Amino acid sequence: MNVSYSPAGLKPKPELKSNTEGAALTGNTVTLTCHMDQSTGWQFYWYQHTQKHQKNTTDKNSYTVNIDSVSDGGQYWCRAGRGNPVYYTHYSDALWVNVTDQPKTILTVKPENQLFSGETVTLRCDIQGGGDTEWTYRWTVENTNYWNKNIVSEYKKQEYKISSVEHTHSGKYTCRGKTRDGQNSEISDAVTLTVSSDKAQAVLSVSPQKWLTEGDSVTLICEAYGSSTGWTFSWYRDDNEFNYKHLSDSSRGAGGNYTVSSAAVNHTGVYKCRGERGEQVYYTEDSNTQPLWVTGVSPSVSLIISPNRTQHFTSDSLTLSCEDQSNSTGWSVRRYTDSGKLQGCSSSYWGSQTGSKCRISSVYTSDTGVYWCHSESGENSNPVNITVHYGDVILESPVHPVTEGDSLTLRCLYRYKNPSVLTADFYKDGSLLQKKTTGEMIIPTVSKSHEGFYYCKHTERGESLKSWISVRGESQSSLL
């Protein structure tokens, strides 16, 4: 018996105990037990602060105290009584209940924000001000798929790891800590996990533009669509149409930007990127492709087009030749179409390569794109735009940039031979330059202000597509 007795016939003295070994935490409860002779008929009286302040009376020998604030701590006593008039035992010895504020719980998640199916996610539960207390941890998820709350786990480790998340792991997660004697920390703020059933997609963009002059600066920007944190990126450039080469100077730690500070002709090509994150590395899908077109002052080779114009009718035949001042061997024609396909003439159905020449027997609108010469050693020519139009009217304009001070002749061509040159209106950047008088427009002395988009229009036959005319300075000499 946990009861103290004086000499025979004197009052018994109960023993007061608490279910907590350490301090009680606000927001929890403490159960006090008044150990007394197990014979029946006793009532139990509970006191706080002083023996004159009776807090409660119970029929059982236990009393649960709600610890709402630090003031609920202090000294407690108990005694028992029975009969009428009531016979009381002695008061127990005082029991001191220590109370401290309930510690705050912080739940963190890595990676944050949007998650993707297959990623590894780690939830960490930190008890602020928890000291050396040994905690177990409980995670609860309010799962939108099931409209209820589920206990995820309760164990000693601070971290709860999901090695391969799925859409069904989406929901609002909370955690809290629990001491060995049942005292709980605060419940953490909820953290929402949103898991996409799709794989992460990298998105590549170019700033400020894709068409560059040698020496310009350009930045490739890689992002993970719908997710902004924790990613590092790598960039790749086409080695051939079936293989992309990792750019060894692209730094994984440099965030989402890859900058070419001084573009050269050899930077011409098609680029893509990929993101990764996590200790157990998760990769995005490869990004969309983005081309860079760099026009040099004096590239070692030039792409010659016959017929020598930017726009062509469907069903026209086309010959593209790589001409080098010293040696035209080892060069092949490449293209990047509007549909985003990188293709080489020598290994594709769209053309036939003989030496350094590529012939397209009959062009289609799908042949619209950018064409250039590429050598086995990795050199490039200046890129050239080719546009194929299914309509009956095209604009005849130069393929390569025009030099300041030279003359420029534009013609409006009709698909059918009678007449092959149409009297038409000529436009620049949407503004009328010349009303129909002849089938051509001549600019006798070209200046930089003449750079822009040009097209021609015939009231009955239709209008051409737009073509960009580039103007280079007089001091620049290009092998064309």
Taking only the tens place, the pLDDT of each residue in 6-21 is 455 688 999 999 999 8
Strands 12-18 and 28-35: antiparallel
pLDDT digits (tens, 9 = 90+) for 258-289: 999 999 888 988 999 999 988 889 999 999 99
Q: Is-contact 200 284, C-beta < 8 A?
A: yes
pLDDT (0 to 100) of residue 41 = 86
Lowest mean pLDDT segment, chosen from 41-50, 183-192, 205-214: 205-214
Strands 148-155 and 136-143: antiparallel
Q: Is-contact 386 309, C-beta < 8 A?
A: no
Bigger pLDDT: 379 vs 174: 174
User: In this structure, what DSSP letter does residue 449 have?
Assistant: G
φ/ψ region of 310 (left if φ > 0, alpha if ψ in -120 to 50, else beta) reads alpha
Residue that is written with structure tokens 């990792």 in the block: 246
Neighbours of 469 (CB within 10 A): 20
pLDDT (0 to 100) of residue 36 = 81
478: nearest Cα among 411, 408, 404, 409: 404
pLDDT digits (tens, 9 = 90+) for 85-94: 999 999 999 9
Q: Using 50, 70 and 90 to split pLDDT, how confident is the model at 147?
A: low
Bigger pLDDT: 346 vs 404: 404
What is the CA angle 363-368-373, rounded to 5? Answer: 90
pLDDT digits (tens, 9 = 90+) for 289-309: 999 998 887 777 889 999 999
Query: If DSSP states are collapsed to H, E and C, what string results for 224-249?
Result: ECCECCCCEEEEEEEEECCEEEECCC
pLDDT (0 to 100) of residue 358 = 94
Bigger pLDDT: 227 vs 215: 215
DSSP string, 129-171: T-TT---EEEEEEEETTTTEEEEEEEES-SEEEESS--GGG-E
Q: Is-contact 81 42, C-beta < 8 A?
A: yes
Lowest mean pLDDT segment, chosen from 72-86, 139-153, 315-329: 139-153
pLDDT (0 to 100) of residue 343 = 87
Neighbours of 33 (CB within 10 A): 18
pLDDT (0 to 100) of residue 217 = 94
pLDDT (0 to 100) of residue 253 = 47
Q: Is the pLDDT of residue 127 over 80?
A: yes
Kindly state the percentage of the chain with pLDDT values over 70: 90
406: nearest Cα among 352, 456, 357, 442: 442
Rounded to whole angstroms, the Cα distance separating 152 from 141 reads 7
Token digits of residue 68:
């709402």
311: nearest Cα among 390, 374, 403, 408: 390
DSSP string, 182-224: S-B-PPPPPEEEEEESSPPBEEEEEES-SEEETT--EEEEEEE
Query: If DSSP states are collapsed to H, E and C, what string results for 321-350?
Result: EEEECCCCCCEEEEEEECCCCEEEHHHCCC
pLDDT (0 to 100) of residue 326 = 65
pTM for this model (two decimals):
0.69
